Amino acid sequence: MTGWEGHAERMDDVYRGQRHIYDLTRKYYLLGRDRLIDELTPPVGGHVLEIGCGTGRNLIAAARCWPGAHFHGIDISEEMLKSARTAIARAGLNRRVTVARGDATRFDPNALFRVNSFDRIFQSYTLSMIPDWQRAIREAVRHLSVYGSLHIVDFGQQEDMPEWFRGALFAWLARFQVEPRALLVEAAREAANDVGARLAVTRLYRGYAWALRLDKRPR
């Protein structure tokens, strides 16, 4: 079994039952997702990709917020994609939102969606669950269009939170194979420097979450 297959199997095991209640429970602590969606500003006719689209919640919200763009999503868990496809169809968005099974660290946009690159890519609370998360950042940057941007929101290091809160949160997240990435900003800055991009970092809610935006600029 390859690393990709092993991770996919673990994620399917985690979400086989959870996918049915995922959105109801996560809305209370996956903070900053709607802020990210509001700031996507994709061009009319542009293509947007969510890496780690899960149940499709974010894709549906983004498609409604930006009706002029096309949306795509990949996830390694086929169980989560079952929920995503159902939700997208129920929302009447099948023509503008498509999802496919894919590995965040290596995927072919043309094979999956017949798209060569994306004007916007976003990763919402996925890097804290991807084993090779640094590679997932670099892979996302690789598939941005010339003027594309990568948007990330994920757990911060709780810099201004009480120590007991940080310890309790991290212990609870570990039960779901979630690990906030202490070097997230550094890894994103390195990826930005590699392509001559500009990186903006915002701490949200006293460091509970970090919001990052990487903007490519033609050399």
pTM to 2 decimal places = 0.88
pLDDT of residue 191: 97
Residue-number span of the structural domain to which 158 is assigned:
3-215
The Cα-based distances of 92 to 74, 85, 100, 114 in angstroms read 19, 11, 18, 22
Q: What domain count does the chain have?
A: 1
The Cα-based distances of 53 to 84, 122, 186, 197 in angstroms read 8, 9, 24, 25
Please give the Cα distance from 206 to 172 (Å, whole number).
19
Phi, psi of 94 (to 5 degrees): -60, -30
Helix axes 78-90, 3-18, angle to 10 degrees: 50
pLDDT of residue 31: 87
Q: Which residues contact 120 (CB under 8 A, 6 or more apart)?
A: 40, 41, 42, 46, 47, 48, 49, 69, 148, 149, 150, 151
Tens digits of pLDDT across the chain (219 residues):
455 555 445 554 555 444 444 444 454 458 899 999 999 999 999 999 999 999 999 999 999 999 999 999 999 988 889 999 999 999 999 999 999 999 999 999 999 999 999 999 999 999 999 999 999 999 999 999 999 999 999 999 998 889 999 999 999 889 888 999 999 999 999 999 999 999 999 999 999 999 999 999 765
Token representation of residue 37: 């969606």
pLDDT of residue 175: 87
Phi, psi of 85 (to 5 degrees): -65, -40
Please give the Cα distance from 117 to 139 (Å, whole number).
12
pLDDT of residue 29: 59
- In eight-state DSSP terms, residue 10 is H
pLDDT of residue 30: 80
Token representation of residue 217: 């600029």
Residues 71/48, Cβ–Cβ less than 8 Å: yes
Residue 176: give its domain's CATH number.
3.40.50.150
Residues 140/80, Cβ–Cβ less than 8 Å: no
